[in-house]
């Protein structure tokens, strides 16, 4: 058989077209390997496993070298294969942190040989990493791979997000949905984790020289002098200090991501509002370009208030990183799943989970299952923490053990990259030549965290009436006024309704707090219609609201047997500050013009005569 031409080109990786690895013909050693670095559980699960054709089994060997997952072929094998003009097929698995658009890497050892093999287009460029697109036409469908080349042609261990070495002192997080390798349980714990053995200094924070040549650096989430119980900081041991992850800044515009104060002159925020789900479009959107601000409250410059957003994400961030100096982000997925590759580890979230990304933490977001849509509460103020339970005691509601923080993972990747920073409501870009996700080990209590909302243990009415909805608070961010939150995150999940002689849905009320609700899935009991998954509603400061006519009639006349409120999960971002609509929320998002009419048909039952009616 005459082979078609082979070609190697330099450039950005596009997309893996076929999950297959083709053997090369010659007698020289070639290493084919995977850059993707597995999470803990996949540590010994190679990224590429070779499936030799019959007759080649004994001459094919495979070696797995830690995180690099290198597949290895002996020269004799290749010579043998070359004579037979045989290809080797390989099963390829893609691991974190790669999304669908990432290719599994091929590393070709002995570049001179490879150059000859592929037509001389491969060259060594010193210490700088070079991403190439490797396209092989070889008796098989087109295969495209991405790889990094380094001086001396050596695959640098940890060139992508590494796995954790999982020393025995480190643990995995177990939940109702199983064990989650790669996470540590707890909320606000003093965690410690290392991706390479011995990378974390013990007994001190700033050794004269750190192991592996790492730099020690502190990330402070609270003022140095914050009280001990509220003081949050994390010590990072990283390949480069953060000052190397930023250069000169250039202002950029993300027109749909707004910050308070933002009060459009021609938009009225006085009213009860409800939206259908914001639909996806054909536009390719990343975590940054797909953020759509719905409301803003307070003032980002004085670190009070919040913004609510809808995100519509179809594309992963590639060589692009972000951090917000303005805020921590509380993320509530409603559709699709995302991977947050952060300085402190990799965290995947899907609907019915939430995540918190701390202020100042650098990350990129990849789409695991798209398109992805969800809600974000951008908290300008003090951090979210768990609410006091008071007389409830030491258990129930959100329990600390159910929160999960990722173990350390890092990238040693040298490619042109962009870091975008949100700072005082503005966005700026800086260009760097490497990945900033280079923290090899860390310890501290300022870290990203995720939480499975299905582990929330609701407490409620057991005889008559029901408590204020604050009984369902998952997280609260204080405002400085005791008991008056900058933001409460409140969850309305499935639960039993057992109260006797009680109007069971939320009662009618007016509230000094401003309530923004979102539906994650199912049906909300106070609004049987119109408030659908992906939809939102806003009941602003001192605006009355409550059950619609159908909900009122149904609840007023229902037989009050114990009843399971099932298939429901909604939430509320509640803030002490009035929430102002953005132009997007008022004019582009699917605002329901007739929402106010849902109370129109409520009747006057009073006729001056006594008796329950
Ligand atoms: Fe309310």
Ordered domains of the chain (ranges, CATH): 7-153 (no CATH), 173-262+286-453 (2.60.120.10), 454-599 (2.60.120.10)
Q: How far apart are CA 357 and CA 352, in angstroms?
A: 17
**With 60 as the cut, is the pLDDT of residue 17 above it?**
no
Separation in Å, CA 217 to CA 98, 210, 328, 477 = 27, 11, 20, 27
**With 80 as the cut, is the pLDDT of residue 437 above it?**
yes
pLDDT confidence of residue 150:
27
pLDDT confidence of residue 200:
92
Quickly state the pLDDT bin for 39 (edges 50, 70, 90): very low
> pLDDT > 70: what percent of the chain?
70
**With 90 as the cut, is the pLDDT of residue 587 above it?**
yes
Handedness of CA 388, 569, 303, 542 (dihedral sign): negative
Q: What angle do CA 434, 439, 441 make, to 5 degrees?
A: 155
Give burial (CB, 10 Å; 0-12/13-18/19+) of 122. Answer: buried
Catalytic residue check, 466? yes
**Dist. CA 308 → ligand 1 center (Å):** 17
The better pLDDT of the pair 327, 170 is held by: 327
Q: Is 249 annotated as a binding residue?
A: no
* 407-437: b (≥16 Cβ within 10 Å) or e: bbbbbbbbbebbbbbbeebebbbbebebbbb
The better pLDDT of the pair 112, 458 is held by: 458
Average pLDDT of span 133-148: 30
- Of the candidates 2, 1, 63, which has an alpha carbon nearest to the alpha carbon of residue 33? 63
Average pLDDT of span 341-367: 95
pLDDT confidence of residue 110:
31
- Of the candidates 573, 601, 578, which has an alpha carbon nearest to the alpha carbon of residue 472? 573
Average pLDDT of span 529-557: 93
Q: How far apart are CA 347 and CA 343, in angstroms?
A: 11
Average pLDDT of span 420-431: 98
**Dist. CA 509 → ligand 1 center (Å):** 6
pLDDT confidence of residue 176:
57
Average pLDDT of span 180-188: 82
Three-state SS for 94-127 is CCCCCCCCCCCCCCCCCHHHHHHHHCCCCCCCCC
Quickly state the pLDDT bin for 336 (edges 50, 70, 90): very high
pLDDT confidence of residue 386:
96
User: Tokens 């119980």 — which residue?
Assistant: 229
Quickly state the pLDDT bin for 410 (edges 50, 70, 90): confident
**Which pLDDT tens digit goes with each residue over 66-106?**
222 223 233 333 333 333 333 333 333 333 332 222 223 33
pLDDT confidence of residue 175:
55
**Dist. CA 352 → ligand 1 center (Å):** 22
pLDDT confidence of residue 18:
26
**With 60 as the cut, is the pLDDT of residue 117 above it?**
no
Quickly state the pLDDT bin for 173 (edges 50, 70, 90): low
Q: Is 545 annotated as a binding residue?
A: yes
DSSP state string for 269-309: --SEEEEPPPPP-SS---TTTTEEEEEEEEEGGGTEEEEEE
Quickly state the pLDDT bin for 413 (edges 50, 70, 90): confident
Contact indicator for 452, 445 with CB cutoff of 8 Å: no
Average pLDDT of span 45-53: 33
**Dist. CA 385 → ligand 1 center (Å):** 22
**With 80 as the cut, is the pLDDT of residue 567 above it?**
yes
Q: How far apart are CA 475 and CA 455, in angstroms?
A: 14
Of 65, 385, 428, 466, catalytic: 466
Torsion, Cα of 51, 55, 59, 62 (10° steps): 10
The token pair at 554 is: 């149904």
Q: How far apart are CA 170 and CA 181, in angstroms?
A: 10
**Which pLDDT tens digit goes with each residue over 307-329?**
999 999 999 999 999 999 999 99
The token pair at 472 is: 């369902």
Q: Which stretch of 29-43, 44-58, 247-261, 397-411 has the lowest confidence by average pLDDT?
A: 29-43
pLDDT confidence of residue 467:
92
Contact indicator for 422, 324 with CB cutoff of 8 Å: yes
φ and ψ of 519, to 5 deg: -105, 120
pLDDT confidence of residue 524:
78
Quickly state the pLDDT bin for 337 (edges 50, 70, 90): very high
Q: Is 509 annotated as a binding residue?
A: yes
Quickly state the pLDDT bin for 529 (edges 50, 70, 90): confident
**Which pLDDT tens digit goes with each residue over 265-275?**
999 999 999 99
The span from the first CA to the last CA of the chain, in angstroms, equals: 90
- Average pLDDT over the chain, rounded to whole? 76
DSSP state string for 234-249: EEEEESS-GGGG--S-
User: Tokens 């006519």 — which residue?
Assistant: 549
66: helix, strand or coil: helix
332: helix, strand or coil: strand
H or E element at residue 83: helix 75-84
The token pair at 358 is: 């701390």
Q: Is 580 annotated as a binding residue?
A: no
Separation in Å, CA 480 to CA 273, 299, 379, 439, 576 = 29, 15, 14, 33, 11
pLDDT confidence of residue 177:
55
Average pLDDT of span 22-31: 31
Contact indicator for 373, 310 with CB cutoff of 8 Å: yes
**With 70 as the cut, is the pLDDT of residue 304 above it?**
yes
Q: How far apart are CA 613 and CA 603, in angstroms?
A: 11
Q: What share of the chain is helix, strand, coil (3-state, %, to 5)?
A: 10, 35, 50
H or E element at residue 551: helix 549-557
**Dist. CA 545 → ligand 1 center (Å):** 6
**Dist. CA 417 → ligand 1 center (Å):** 45
pLDDT confidence of residue 322:
98
**Dist. CA 544 → ligand 1 center (Å):** 8
DSSP state string for 455-506: G-B----SSSS---GGGGEEEEEEEEETTEEEEEEEEEEEEEE--SS---SP
**With 90 as the cut, is the pLDDT of residue 13 above it?**
no
């Amino acid at each position: 058989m005459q082979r078609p031409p082979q070609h190697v080109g330099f450039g950005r990786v596009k997309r893996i077209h076929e999950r297959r690895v083709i053997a090369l013909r010659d007698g020289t050693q070639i290493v084919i390997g995977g850059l993707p670095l597995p999470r803990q559980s996949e540590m010994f699960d190679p990224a590429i496993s070779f499936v030799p054709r019959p007759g080649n089994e004994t001459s094919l060997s495979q070696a797995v070298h830690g995180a690099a997952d290198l597949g290895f072929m002996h020269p004799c094998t290749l010579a043998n294969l070359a004579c037979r003009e045989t290809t080797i097929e390989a099963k390829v698995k893609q691991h974190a942190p790669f999304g669908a658009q990432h290719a599994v890497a091929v590393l070709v050892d002995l570049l001179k040989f490879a150059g000859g093999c592929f037509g001389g287009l491969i060259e060594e460029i010193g210490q700088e990493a070079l991403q190439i697109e490797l396209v092989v036409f070889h008796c098989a469908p087109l295969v495209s791979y991405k790889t990094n080349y380094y001086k001396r042609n050596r695959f640098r261990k940890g060139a992508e997000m590494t796995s954790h070495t999982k020393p025995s002192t480190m643990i995995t997080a177990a939940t109702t949905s199983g064990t989650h390798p790669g996470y540590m349980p707890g909320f606000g714990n003093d965690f410690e984790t290392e991706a390479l053995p011995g990378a974390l200094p013990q007994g001190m924070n700033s050794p004269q020289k750190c192991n592996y040549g790492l730099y020690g650096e502190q990330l402070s989430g609270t003022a140095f002098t914050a009280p001990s119980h509220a003081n949050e900081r994390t010590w990072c041991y990283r390949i480069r200090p953060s000052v190397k992850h930023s250069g000169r800044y250039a202002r950029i515009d993300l027109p749909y991501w707004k910050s308070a104060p933002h009060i459009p002159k021609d938009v009225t925020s006085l009213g009860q509002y409800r939206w259908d789900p914001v639909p996806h479009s054909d536009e390719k959107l990343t975590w940054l370009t797909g953020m759509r601000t719905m409301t803003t409250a307070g003032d980002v410059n004085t670190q009070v208030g919040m913004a609510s957003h809808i995100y519509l994400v179809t594309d992963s961030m590639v060589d692009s990183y972000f951090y917000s100096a303005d805020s921590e982000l509380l993320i509530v997925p409603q559709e699709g799943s995302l991977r947050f590759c952060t300085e402190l580890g990799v965290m995947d979230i899907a609907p019915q989970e939430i995540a918190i990304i701390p202020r100042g933490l650098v990350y990129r977001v990849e789409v695991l299952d798209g398109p992805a849509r969800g809600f974000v509460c951008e908290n300008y103020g003090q951090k979210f923490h768990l609410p006091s339970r008071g007389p409830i005691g030491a258990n129930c509601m959100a329990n600390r053990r159910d929160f999960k923080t990722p173990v350390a993972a890092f990238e040693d990747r040298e490619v042109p990259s962009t870091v975008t920073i949100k700072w005082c409501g503005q966005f700026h870009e800086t260009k760097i030549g490497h990945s900033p996700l280079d923290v090899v080990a860390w310890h501290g209590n300022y870290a990203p965290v995720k939480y499975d909302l299905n582990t929330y243990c609701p407490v409620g009415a057991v005889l008559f009436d029901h408590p204020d909805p604050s009984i369902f608070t998952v997280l609260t961010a204080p405002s400085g006024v005791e008991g008056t939150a900058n933001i409460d995150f409140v969850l309305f999940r499935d639960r039993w309704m057992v109260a006797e002689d009680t109007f069971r849905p939320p009662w009618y009320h007016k509230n000094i707090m401003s309530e923004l609700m979102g539906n994650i899935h199912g049906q909300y009991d106070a609004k049987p219609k119109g408030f659908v998954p992906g939809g939102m509603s806003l009941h602003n400061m001192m605006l009355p609201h409550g059950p619609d006519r159908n909900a009122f009639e149904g609840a007023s006349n229902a037989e009050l047997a114990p009843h399971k409120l099932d298939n429901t999960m909604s939430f509320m971002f509640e803030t002490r500050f009035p929430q102002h609509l953005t132009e997007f929320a008022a004019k582009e998002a699917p605002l329901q013009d007739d929402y106010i009419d849902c109370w129109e048909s409520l009747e006057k039952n009073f006729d001056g005569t006594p008796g329950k009616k």
